Amino acid sequence: MKKGNNGSLAGHRFVLTLCLGFLCVSCATGPEAYKDIDNAVNKSDFEAGVEAIVKSQEGRKPIYNTRNAVSLYLDKGLLEHYAGKNGDSSGSLQEAERLIEEAFTKSVTADIASYIANDNTKEYPGEDFEDIYLNVFNALNYYNNGNIEGALVEIRKLTMSSGKLDMLERKYEDIDSNASNGAMIELRNIGFTSSPDLPRAKPVEFSNSALARYLSALFYLGEGKTDDARIEFEQLDAAYNSNRNIYANPAPKAVADARTVPAGKARLNVIGFTGLSPIKEEGVFNQIFPFFQNMVLWYPQFKLPVLVQRPSRINRIEVVVGHEKFNLELLEDMGAVIEETYNARFSRIFMKTYIRTLLKYAAIDIAASEARRRTDDQLVALAAVASALAVKKAFDATESADIRMSRYLPDKAYVGGVNLDPGNYDVIVYYYAGNNVIAKEEHNVTVRANALNLVEVVNLK
């Protein structure tokens, strides 16, 4: 067999493999399926939320199917954390982290057909923001269980050189390059002679988290490592200065106050999480492919996952400790971090969808053009065009956006604190919507000198 025919045969096999994958696309779980979990979360009954997740997995049609294990362990781990089940939460979040790492390793070694296949046909690999924030909450799990060193291990996964944050900007460079090069090779293999400009994936423009740095600094102070804490506080300032798109607000005064505690006093630090992070929904994007010979292929529609905000009712958090009263200040807009990191991910999804659609349309275009070339019968030629349109519609019907993700990450992280005499205190937290208190929680806290005293409060309304 001639070399050219070998290439053509390989190309048609590639397209066949790609097309078979489209037939395996599963329907996404709709938001109504999460109703019981969402209702529990809205009431801050996080234990009931965990029970609802466990119950949802029983029976023949679980909410989180086997290809969505990452979301299962993330959602379960987060709600377990909010419910105070720190050990269970650590186990769930660590499993989510393991699956995310495993999925990335697979993507590095995947061939072009596997890489650009519709995401719904594959195991959900997790998002970069999920991989980042699971370490934040697992660090708090360790702290709540009295293991500050374990908490630091979790945070260092983010902040160390070549850690998760440091690697974000260059994590996908080789994968994206290989996908673009592979697409052009496959186009040539199936006999498509045009050389369209392929879209490029955007780099992630987020490499430092004020939230991670704040917790790291507190944990180091708790270990008596003041110089390490100083470095983390400086890195927190650097995070604010380097990314004003995310950190539009000034750094909280509580951050500076936490650095130095007056002699004989003890510092009570409070960290609060509110709202729910943006969620994915399917969006439709009209495109144009003018380089095909058959005009029925000129106007594809891409169905892509877009982020939709879930606005929180809470706009102020007041903390009362004895005769002291203070408001928590915004430390990190987690929703903004999620949108920033997802913008780069979206460009990558767009690129893969573009390549996938281009390859399948190219195969249709070549087949229809060849059928028309071989006949002078106008009816046969029209039938070839009609057939191309029918195949296009069949392919398009299999396309859907992958809207899988964790549903229960907070939208914002707030901090505050007060210097107190060592002792026992009732800490009362008021959540405001405008001038109205919409929720309240109380904690009894022992505040110790020369130790880390950190209270976490959560309301996802």
Digits of tens for pLDDT over the chain (461 positions)? 333 344 443 444 444 444 444 444 445 577 788 999 999 999 999 999 999 999 999 988 999 999 999 999 999 999 999 999 999 999 999 999 999 999 998 887 776 676 778 889 899 999 999 999 999 999 999 999 999 999 999 999 999 998 999 988 777 766 656 666 665 666 666 556 666 666 676 778 889 999 999 999 999 999 999 999 999 999 999 999 999 989 999 999 999 999 999 999 999 999 999 999 999 999 999 999 898 888 888 999 999 999 999 999 999 999 999 999 999 999 999 999 999 999 888 888 888 888 888 888 888 888 888 877 777 777 766 777 788 788 888 888 888 999 999 999 999 999 999 999 999 999 999 999 999 999 999 999 999 999 999 999 999 99
Calculate the dihedral angle through the C-alpha atoms of 134, 139, 140, 141, rounding to the nearest 10 degrees.
90
The residue among 160, 172, 277, 251 whose CA lies nearest residue 208 is 160
Helices (H) and strands (E) in the chain, counts: 15, 10
Write down how long the chain is: 461
User: What's residue 184's pLDDT?
Assistant: 62
Domain range for residue 125? 3-459
Given a contact cutoff of 8 angstroms between Cβ atoms, the answer to whether 151 and 140 are in contact is yes
pTM of the shown model: 0.88
The residue among 453, 444, 433 whose CA lies nearest residue 318 is 433
The residue among 120, 124, 126, 125 whose CA lies nearest residue 28 is 120
User: What's residue 177's pLDDT?
Assistant: 64
**Which pair of tokens denotes residue 121?**
């046909």
Question: What distances in angstroms separate CA 257 from CA 149, 213, 217, 417, one per listed residue?
Answer: 23, 15, 12, 8
- Number of structural domains (the chain) is 1
Given a contact cutoff of 8 angstroms between Cβ atoms, the answer to whether 75 and 50 are in contact is no
102 CB-near residues (< 8 Å, 6+ apart): none
